[in-house]
Every structure is written in structure tokens, then in C-alpha cells.
Amino acid sequence: MGGKPAAPLHLVGNGAVDVKRTPAHSFNSPCPSPYPQGSSPLPPGIAPSPARTPRSRVRWPFPPPSPAKPIMSSILKRRGSARPKEGPIPEEGAGEGETQLDKSFGYARNFPAKFELGKEVGRGHFGHTCWARGKKGELKGQTVAVKIISKAKMTTAIAIEDVRREVKILKALSVHKNLVKFHDACEDASNVYIIMELCEGGELLDRILSRGGRYREEDAKAIVVQILNVVAFCHLQGVVHRDLKPENFLFTTRDEDAQMKVIDFGLSDFIRTDQRLNDIVGSAYYVAPEVLHRSYNLEADVWSIGVITYILLCGSRPFWARTESGIFRSVLRADPNFDDLPWPAVSPEAKDFVKRLLNKDYRKRMTAAQALTHPWLRDENHAVPLDILVYKLVKSYVRVSPFKRAALKALSKALTEDELVYLRAQFRLLEPKNGRVSLENFKMALMRNATDAMKESRVVDILNMVRHLIYLLKSQWTSYIVEQG
């Protein structure tokens, strides 16, 4: 890493990236507030809500040696924020393209009747967040966060679908204790309103700063366990977050042991286990190498968790540079520094944990569920969630030849203790009978964790495919017996 300072990114009004110079260990310096001291628009005791940090929804040019051209304009067009012409945005229906877009989401149109909107507390690239107070119904008297997205900025069908998908994901996944609770979605002629739980404890980034730039190892474990749990849950549902960073984790209260929740699913997407995404989105310091190569899956989120864990333990970023291309070159080529202070005082298990999350080969990277069984976290007294990887491996196992299955059985005797801990945990989650599991066990385990998101990501298709493959194998075996008889 060296001793040179990191260069954090700041989005400016036109979507460009402004690189600011900061002292070394930039996490020791508080982030600039958008409001003058003492002039926060929030009521007393309430911290900023989920979208306080500027959005980082940009696509970047590849660093050398990648040959791709800069694609900032394409991401702006995708998100409905391109500015091809100067002047005001035309009225609804005034432009030729506008008349072809249906901006009706089917959400309730009674937002003013249900909520009293307060002042703005955060602004992103594609929307802003205000606090609000419920006027009637279940949320009467409660303070909530309201993300407001302007329909005028939805100038493409993709931009409209992005908003629709964000609401679907929040609605389906907010049953998890570490995911911000979704209350409702409303709309009117001008805006879409996403009503969510207001987390009053501030960002994870703020807590890192308040602790002098890093966490004690034992305290970091508690944070990482919560992150891994909610990400493993999202991955089981077939949802990839794509923008995991300390700013996107909020605490429910200011208590030291407050629960932490992940927010901001504006860049999230549904994904199948055999699918590769190719759009480059996220935040520069946390983006995985395979994202820059435009071929990635759920493993990209795990890389981001590795970056967050590195920051928690040492107070600086594992990959940094003064320019975007420099950051990406570092992500692709450089190895994290584990030699400088405070790493000599960090346990070998913690170092191994981070290294296994920051493996540049995504095929060798731990899954979120696997990471929860790592020796560094094994004494944290937490449950291990069902891993979507198990279903992917079962599908692969059924498809291979009998000879390869025999070889795999022989290789299984050489598994390490760490690997066996993970496999035993997954085996117990399938609730075996007499030491065996059937396809029905796999189905029931998946259904116990099912949400509406699974319908969109088609995770259940894995079971249907395995069932079909087993049927074909039985048919082939029956035909073979008949022929031999």
C-alpha cells in the first residue's frame, strides 16, 4: 500500500467524479456534512436517513490493459440522467419518447393524506430522502424515511424498471432483521415515494470514524457476522446488492450494541446462479475485479465485504489511488498490504479471513454462508444460513458421469476440518432422515426460506432442473438393465 494518502471519490452535480486529497488513513477524518454545524433539519435525537450519502451509480472506464471505452454516458442514459440537450425537461407527453413510456407504477396515490413530509436529509444522484411522520394508519405518529424519486428523470424504460425492481426487492427481503424495513410505496404525477424504516443510529462509516478509524478485532467480528448473515440471505433469494460499503449500513439506535441494517437497493438485481452480469456499477473502492471484466455473479458482493472487513481491522482501504483508473488498476493487479501496522497485532485467523474474501479468483472466494463457518468467526455463537451454493453443487453433481461421481466420493475423504464444519452445518439445515437427504429435503429447506424474490430470480428452477435430471438418469438406468437382461 505504501504511505501515500487515499483519494476518496465525490460525485459532483454533472455526474462526474471529483477527486479530493485527504490525509493518510482518510477514515480518521470525518466526512463533510451537507448542513452547517447545528443546523440539521432533523428533529432532536434523529440521525440522517438511508440516502444521506451521495449516490455512486456510475460506470467507469476500464483501467489498462482493458480495451473498453469510457461508458459514463451509457449508465446515465440507463438511469434516466443523461443530458443530451440544454434546457428544461419537457412536460409529460410533450416529447416523442415520453409518450411511449408508462410511468404509472400502480402504487397508492394517497401519500399526502398518510404522511407529513419533513425536511430533506440526504440527496443522491437519482433521488433524495426526507424524514416524514405518519398521519394515520399503522404508522400514525411514527417517524419514517421517505426516498423520493422524480419521474421526470425516468426518461428510459430501463430507469422505470430499476425503480420498480428496487421496490420489489425491498418489499420481499425486509423480513430479515438486518435489512431496512420496507413500509409502503406511493406515487403521484411527479414522484415515486418509497417509505422505509428510519434508522437513528447513523452509518457504519461514522462509527469507524468515532473509533479512531478502526474497530477492535472482537468488535469487528460482531459487525461482519451481521453483514454476512443478511448478504447470505439475499443471495439465497437470488438477489445481488452490488453496492455494499460502510455508508450503506445503518444502526437502528445510537446504542453500542445496536442492530445494523443494510440499505439502498437501487443498484440491486435478481440473478440466477448460472447467470453472469456485465454492467459495471457500484463504488470504486469496493468493486470486485470480475465486475471490471464485465462477468460476475453473487461473489462480487463477497469481495465488497472483504474490503469492508479490511477497513474495520486496519482503518485504511486495501486498494487505493488518486484516480479512477488507478483504483481499478490496483483492484486488478495489487495485493492488499498485511505487513504495516496494525496488521502484526491482528490474529492470523482474521488475516486469513480477509485474504479468502479478497481472492481475485471469484471461484476460490468463500460464499457469505461459508465465511460464517471460518475459524475467525466460529466462536461467535451464530447460526449458519442455508447456502445457495449447495443447490448449485447438487445440480452439477447430478449432471456428471458415474465415474466422476466415484472420483468425487474419493476426494471427499481429503476434506479439511474447516470444509467439514461448513458441510455439516448445511447438511443439518436440510433436516436429513436416517442420515440421508432426498430431493424433498432440498425443496423443503428452500421453501422455509422462500420470499417473493425467489419468483423473480427463479432460484426454484434449480430444483426443477435437478428433478428432471434425476428422472433422466433413472430412465437411462432402467433402459440399460432391460438391454442387459
CA 148-154-157 angle, to 5 degrees, is: 130
Rg (CA), the chain: 24
Q: For residue 105, what is its C-alpha cell?
A: 407504477
Among candidates 51, 212, 188, which has minimal Cα distance to 131? 51
Per the listing, cell 479512477 goes with: 324
Percentages (nearest 5) of helix, strand, coil residues in the chain: 40, 15, 45
Q: Which of 162, 184, 243, 301 is catalytic?
A: 243
147 annotated to bind ligand = yes
Which class for 96: exposed (0-12), middle (13-18), buried (19 or more C-beta within 10 A)?
exposed
Q: For residue 63, what is its C-alpha cell?
A: 483501467
Q: 396 phi and psi, to 5 degrees?
A: -65, -40
Distance CA 424, CA 411 (A): 17
How many residues are present in the chain? Answer: 485
Say whether 15 sits in a helix, a strand or coil: coil
- 18 beta partners: 10
Which class for 448: exposed (0-12), middle (13-18), buried (19 or more C-beta within 10 A)?
exposed
Distance CA 394, CA 386 (A): 14
Per the listing, cell 483492484 goes with: 331
Q: For residue 195, what is its C-alpha cell?
A: 417509505
Between helices 299-314 and 348-357, what is the axis angle to 10°?
Answer: 150
Say whether 17 sits in a helix, a strand or coil: strand
Please write down the HEC assignment for all residues of 209-260. HHCCCCCCHHHHHHHHHHHHHHHHHHHHCCEECCCCCHHHEEECCCCCCCCE
* Count of C-beta atoms within a 10 Å radius of residue 144: 20
Among candidates 94, 130, 100, which has minimal Cα distance to 115? 130
Distance CA 450, CA 11 (A): 37
* b/e per residue 364-373 (b: at least 16 CB within 10 A): ebbbbbbbbb
Distance CA 52, CA 199 (A): 12
243 flagged as catalytic: yes
Annotated binding-site ranges for ATP:
147
Catalytic residues: 243
Q: Give binding residues as ranges.
A: 147
